[in-house]
Amino acid sequence: MPTDRGDAEDLPRYRSVADDLRSRILDGRLSAGEALPKQQQLQRHYQVGRGTIQSAQQMLRDEGLLEDGAPGRAARVANRTTNLRPLAYYIAQAFTARHVVLDVWSLTTEQLSQAVRNEVEAILEGRRRPPETITVRVLLPDLTTSHPYPRHADDPADPRPLLRLRHVIRTYAGALEHSLTRLAERGLVGQVSVAIRGLPTIPGEKRYLINGTEMLTAYYWLERGQMQNNPDGASLDVIELRGGDLFRSTLDGADASEQARFEQVKLWFDTRWDEVAQPLQLD
């Protein structure tokens, strides 16, 4: 059982707690919609303080495994479509390979950045054996095109929603790049390549091609929402893109039709990367 005193590796307690809770969620011991034990019970079970439990739960919220809880109520396991897992699970599996290869097409890299950060921290802390090489290519909406979404619901010419999107793209793409380059700077991974390019379009779906054998797809839909924390203090009604659950397909045991689908998706990515996409300026 974890303790606040730390073990031989002196791991951050909240990560050890998060690792245990994550495994209980992913193997079904904690099912979708089920409430976690109350914070006081978790504190006694793991022999840690309240702040450690809160940090561990926030980490799992960032991974999409826990729902946002109401004050005074226990956190709940996120309701996800049966047998579908969050991106963090697949990224964790990807990092067990000797050579990690990720090709990504997405609106932002928010979830990817957080998932990769978890694996980088595990490597830095000695909890995960580092891969020999990491190669990451990311396609995102460019930072100059006047994309149709997100937009103000009543004033499509209002630039603030698009400026916010550009800020989010820069923030998380920069964090992703920083996390991975740390491994090269520390000499833990022999070769690290991170390239981020922009396309003059908004994605209709997000795709992750993982280690050449696995593909994850999730679709975006339009949704009305509120954009908060604007510099002028205003709250905006916006129409924005929301992403759904990830659907997985793999080349392992795939028939000819599925193999052809993989080849077409890879061709889709490679041709846009080579012929259209331009390096994204993150600073």
Residue 220 has pLDDT above 50, yes or no: yes
pLDDT digits over 102-140, tens only?
999 999 998 899 899 989 988 998 878 999 999 999 999
Of 230 and 283, the one with more pLDDT: 283
* C-alpha to C-alpha distance for 36 and 22, rounded to whole angstroms: 12
Residue 2 has pLDDT above 50, yes or no: no
What per-residue confidence (pLDDT) applies to 65? 82
